[in-house]
Amino acid sequence: SNLVNDDNNLYFSNNKNKFYSIDLKTGNPNWLQEISSVLRPILVNDLIYTITLKGYIVVIEKQTGNIIRINDIFKGNNINKKKNVEPTGFIIGKNSFFVTTSNGRLLEVDIKSGQTKSIIKIENNKINKPYILNKDMNLITDNSIIKLK
């Protein structure tokens, strides 16, 4: 994943299913979790949010590395895991996560329960991480930029 940091620590995952917190001053690991993610984690106050390749939202305490919650965003939906659908990016809004997928879907996931509230089919191909610009969500596909209001 891409690296993210706060004032004292660096957070990232690698291609060996490891998610790290590293002390910036010493370079020593603070903690390690077995989480398979290639997406950039998001820091919110004392929590770290990440999404695994299999579609699990993982909420981690930033200080201790303890996993607070894991939710399967694909559970009960028509997204077939056997077709190797993977999350491609996510952002956090006030009450929801917005997750894009490799099969062209945008999922809205409740931030408190971790349950998927809605799925919008954008197209049949990969959608990159959503971006917010002037309070509008923008999605980048292979051949277009889509603005959602």
Residue type, 135: K
Write out pLDDT tens, residues 54-76: 899 999 999 999 999 999 988 87
Query: In this prediction, what percent of the chain has a pLDDT beyond 70?
Result: 95
Q: Is the pLDDT of residue 77 over 80?
A: no
Tokens 């305490």 -> residue: 61
Residue type, 18: K
Q: Which of 23-27, 77-81, 120-124, 132-136 has the lowest mean pLDDT?
A: 77-81
Query: Can you give the pLDDT at residue 47?
Result: 94
pTM of the model: 0.87
Whether residue 141 contacts residue 133, with contact meaning beta carbons closer than 8 Å, is answered with: no
Query: Can you give the pLDDT at residue 127?
Result: 85
Instruction: Using DSSP bridges, classify how beta strands 42-44 and 116-121 pair: parallel, antiparallel or unpaired.
Output: unpaired
- Report in angstroms the alpha-carbon separations of 100 from 73, 126, 134, 149: 11, 8, 20, 16
Query: Can you give the pLDDT at residue 78?
Result: 65
- Report in angstroms the alpha-carbon separations of 50 from 42, 104, 145: 7, 20, 25
Query: Can you give the pLDDT at residue 96?
Result: 92
